[in-house]
Chains A and B, each alone.
Chain A
Amino acid sequence: MGILPDEIKPAMQGVIPSHVVTCSRDGTPNASAISQVYYVDPDHVALSHQFFNKTKRNIEENPRAVVWVISPETFEAWDLELEFVRSDTSGPIFDVMEMQIEAIASMVGMKGIFKLRAADIFRVASVRKAVGERIPLAEIPGPR
């Protein structure tokens, strides 16, 4: 039995962008949106590496990251603490993520801009379901 609960899977389909925070060796944090946090197995996730950006450089210097994911079905959210394991530029995880990134890009009008360079695999060190950070669905005012 792994650390990730089954109920988190809908939050990892890329319907709603996730957020990732990393930190450089000199102690500067970086906050960024990410197209997809992909469920690899109950103890691992993959982050889509699409650009040579600060997130990627930070991970090379300091392997820790935190991500925030939210389910498009229940709107429950989770915080995951991650540790970088490896970067895949081919193979089954990369292939599935590449297809999903293309689908996300089409959906959000970013075709030709979103392109998967690597699937960065992380071990999930901890997972915390957010409590008290969302207004319950039943209490959100509807359309007028």
Chain B
Amino acid sequence: MIPDRVVEVLHGPAFIQIGSRDEALRPAHTWAVGAMVHDDRQTVTVFVPTARSDRVLRDLQENGRIALGMALVSHESYQLKGTYVSSRPAVDAERARQEAYRAALLASALEAGYPEAIARPLTMGLAYTPAVAITFRAEQVFLQTPGPDAGTLLS
């Protein structure tokens, strides 16, 4: 079960990174704009821009192994590791969720003191749509905030 605080962080606004790997154990990276934890507190759907989804989707369909890193502007960070369930094109309601997510991401970066000239293009420049909704089952949750406790298994 994903702890309350990690659900909050995942619901954002957080910078979300996804890792996968192919059969030769070559890693791949993409990012997501927006995420949703399902009622079972174990299933997660993330929204990955279609423009950056091909390699990761291929990996996930082949072997199912996924890592999701999330970080707040404050550096509070967590990582989920799990197994791919499904993917489909994101729908309009999810696009609205993504738009709210990126606006919140911008507000958090400005509040943390990032200059407008960096915060705005960094957060609002993500080509977030069209997107693929990738669903996976989280099996492990790790603390990843920089410091001596980084890597601690939370759940």
Residues of A within 8 A of B (CB): 15-17, 19-23, 25, 27-33, 50-51, 53-54, 62, 64-68, 70, 72, 75, 79, 81, 108, 110, 113-114, 130, 132-135, 137, 140-143
Q: Known contacts A23-B21, A30-B67, A133-B49: does B118 contact A50 (CB below 8 Å)?
A: no
Bound together, the chains give a CA A30 to CA B148 distance in angstroms of 18
26 A–B contacts from the bound complex (CB under 8 Å) = A22-B27, A27-B21, A27-B25, A28-B65, A29-B65, A30-B67, A31-B19, A33-B15, A33-B71, A51-B150, A51-B151, A53-B150, A64-B27, A67-B29, A68-B29, A75-B121, A79-B29, A110-B75, A132-B127, A133-B52, A135-B124, A135-B126, A140-B120, A140-B121, A141-B124, A143-B116
Do the beta carbons of A133 and B28 come within 8 Å of each other?
A: no
- A101 vs chain B, min Cβ distance (A): 11
Q: How large, as a class, is the contact surface on chain B?
A: 35 or more
Do the beta carbons of B25 and A30 come within 8 Å of each other?
A: no
Chain B residues with CB under 8 A of A134: 125-127
Q: Which residue of A lies closest to B142 (CB)?
A: A54
Do the beta carbons of A66 and B118 come within 8 Å of each other?
A: no
- B98 vs chain A, min Cβ distance (A): 13
Q: Does B88 interact with chain A (Cβ within 8 Å)?
A: no
Instruction: Give the residues from 39 to 64 in chain B that come closer than 8 angstroms, CB to CB, to chain A.
Output: 49, 51-52, 63
Q: Does B31 interact with chain A (Cβ within 8 Å)?
A: yes
Chain B residues with CB under 8 A of A68: 17, 29, 31
Q: Known contacts A62-B25, A113-B147, A130-B52: does B118 contact A15 (CB below 8 Å)?
A: yes
Chain A residues with CB under 8 A of B31: 19, 68
Do the beta carbons of A29 and B121 come within 8 Å of each other?
A: no
Chain A residues with CB under 8 A of B69: 19, 31-33
- B141 vs chain A, min Cβ distance (A): 13
Bound together, the chains give a CA A22 to CA B81 distance in angstroms of 13
Do the beta carbons of B65 and A133 come within 8 Å of each other?
A: no
Do the beta carbons of B120 and A27 come within 8 Å of each other?
A: no
Do the beta carbons of A29 and B27 come within 8 Å of each other?
A: yes
Q: Which residue of A lies closest to B22 (CB)?
A: A23
Q: Known contacts A64-B26, A113-B147: does B17 contact A33 (CB below 8 Å)?
A: yes
Do the beta carbons of A31 and B150 come within 8 Å of each other?
A: no
Do the beta carbons of B66 and A29 come within 8 Å of each other?
A: yes
Q: Known contacts A21-B28, A23-B27, A135-B124: does B18 contact A31 (CB below 8 Å)?
A: yes
Do the beta carbons of B146 and A135 come within 8 Å of each other?
A: no
Chain B residues with CB under 8 A of A113: 146-147
Instruction: Give the residues from 91 to 120 in chain B that come closer than 8 angstroms, CB to CB, to chain A.
Output: 116, 118, 120
